[in-house]
Structure 1
């Protein structure tokens, strides 16, 4: 018998308002999140990711469809009867209580015995490496330390699922990167299913087992970080995740035919016809003009980033692209504006988009 997903949305719809003025924030979303995985809902503001998280938590109810947790339909259950906990962007800590008291608060509200509360609080503080600060007020902590307290408090009751609503967005860049590693460590050590909401593609790529990319209230693609980045299925996903060059081509007999008649064999089958091609800048390289299988372009400018440079070119059909190349160790600065060069790329780099 197949194990039930940790979380499942079945044709979930959420509308705010009624009649002609109703706004559909979630549009027939179906997704199954596996037990013990770090699953990220990724997308821009207003895409529906937080709405889906709130439906799972029970803070909002579905207009239609169902939410299941561990195989049980919880659509009608209030938040306090669902085996989930939520970490919010604001942390929602009690500033007048100590670190230990904040972590113990949820367990005490559940009526757990004092001995269990004390033991579990100590265990959670050790897990998030704050056991030395147990007696300090949360108002005296740094942002990263407050984040850890919020995580410890949410994990203390041993929820089946931990929901995280952009919990790192208030932190500075360096601390945010540190906390990315900490979140992944906590998920691996506890084995709890994490459902993480973010608009930050780097957070999604570095922490997730799988990612669901959302737009317009729908999930457009689900896959591992590598699948989402290397094989986007549509233009939105390709454009939202990383930098991408979009080129027009015609598929003919298993090959992509570009402007100027350049043909490149496709590594994946695609139907004949006019298509949009996505190629990542790091998969392109500059070669001498006229090289077989290379497109021709004129350099407009180059931007130096230290470790690498982004060379901007205009192809003969007017398409503007970017080629990312490592900085020359001799400091020569790369190609100059006006230079006419070839642009080559391996067939595996060519992604034919659905739309």
Structure 2
């Protein structure tokens, strides 16, 4: 992946309305997105991720701040003059045109030669693996196939940046997972910078080179999926990315005294006073009650998920947490409701967050 910057936003601020009625959708966002990167804007509804995408596309103009494309200020450049394409939730295919003609439409509007259009359409059909569907109409395709046509149409003019606004949200779970792999393959093969908007953490973790977690118009953390998942900067990020157990306590030297009264070893440097511990369920192990250096817990419930079993536990102070255990072939992990057990956290699994 090139280190060149494809997109940069400099203190991008967007407000709707004026005076006391103004709503701030983006609050001075600064971010750099590398050329050839699959970059995801992740956050809950209303966090500003789609607004940021629309600023990059040119559909909106920032109230203040700048948008740069490969170092050039494009803040006021209209969308039709930006080498950027967008794929929306709605595929917006022309129902009266064939698959091939849908892909060719933007190329013809750009005045490309007939031979160039034919060659590009053929290449795009091959890229999205729809060669045998060229003469079909959109209504003759499945949802996943329509999504591929929309992607092919957006990629055909070879934009420098492709923006994707929750394009998989209308698909069922199995097809969405297939399209996640497909999108990553397309991005890798074309080398085009993809900026993907979603509220789905699994999509972000599966496809992204880097993720920006957003909340209330701001970017809270930018990093690779493993970094964001394993080292969240605050409770919101830890809670939004995957499942997380939270425990309250106070720093005592190199350990944390939990509200249950028990001690947990953790990296406490830079922390003091009251803190919150974040521990992923897969990092919680169960051992016999009374095991050295274990916490005492009671089994509240077990929920079978096929490959995994979620074991719901309660500490002495009734703090609840979940352990995600691999299910044995029998499907029975041998733990009963009300049983006393010990729990241990994997080395390095405990993240300390200031309150």
Q: Residue 242 in 1 paired to residue 234 in 2?
A: no
Written as runs of structure 1 = structure 2, the 5 A alignment for 1:216-231 is: 216-231=216-231
2:338 corresponds in structure 1 to 338
Structure 2 counterpart SS, 1:6: strand
> Which deviations, in whole Å up to 9, do the C-alpha atoms of 1:194-220 show, x marking residues without a partner?
000111111111111011111111111
CA distance in 2, matches of 1:179, 1:218: 29
1:187 corresponds in structure 2 to 187
Structure 2 counterpart SS, 1:344: strand
* Bigger shift: residues 165-174 or 247-256: 247-256
| 1:306–1:327 contact (8 Å) kept in structure 2 | yes
CA distance in 2, matches of 1:205, 1:139: 32
Long gaps (5+) in structure 1: none
Deviation of 1:333 (Å): 4.4
1:145 corresponds in structure 2 to 145
CA distance in 2, matches of 1:321, 1:114: 63
Deviation of 1:28 (Å): 1.2
2:300 corresponds in structure 1 to 300
TM-score, structure 2 length as denominator? 0.96
In the alignment of these two chains, the number of paired residues is 354
CA distance in 2, matches of 1:60, 1:284: 46
1:296 and 1:171, CA in 2 relative to 1: closer, same or farther beyond 3 A?
same
1:309 corresponds in structure 2 to 309
CA distance in 2, matches of 1:106, 1:127: 17
Long gaps (5+) in structure 2: none
Deviation of 1:172 (Å): 1.1
Deviation of 1:272 (Å): 2.3
CA distance in 1, matches of 2:48, 2:249: 33
CA distance in 1, matches of 2:335, 2:38: 43
CA distance in 2, matches of 1:256, 1:135: 66
When the two chains are superposed, the root-mean-square deviation of aligned CA atoms in Å is 1.6
CA distance in 2, matches of 1:112, 1:329: 59
| 2:304–2:331 contact (8 Å) kept in structure 1 | no
Written as runs of structure 1 = structure 2, the 5 A alignment for 1:92-171 is: 92-171=92-171
CA distance in 2, matches of 1:245, 1:43: 20
CA distance in 2, matches of 1:154, 1:328: 46
Structure 1 counterpart SS, 2:212: strand
Written as runs of structure 1 = structure 2, the 5 A alignment for 1:186-335 is: 186-267=186-267, 269-335=269-335
TM-score, structure 1 length as denominator? 0.96
CA distance in 2, matches of 1:331, 1:116: 58
CA distance in 1, matches of 2:179, 2:258: 44
CA distance in 2, matches of 1:133, 1:328: 44
CA distance in 1, matches of 2:128, 2:198: 22
CA distance in 2, matches of 1:208, 1:86: 18
> Which deviations, in whole Å up to 9, do the C-alpha atoms of 1:300-327 show, x marking residues without a partner?
1111212221111111122111111122
Deviation of 1:26 (Å): 0.9
| 1:270–1:352 contact (8 Å) kept in structure 2 | no
CA distance in 2, matches of 1:24, 1:331: 50
Structure 1 counterpart SS, 2:348: helix
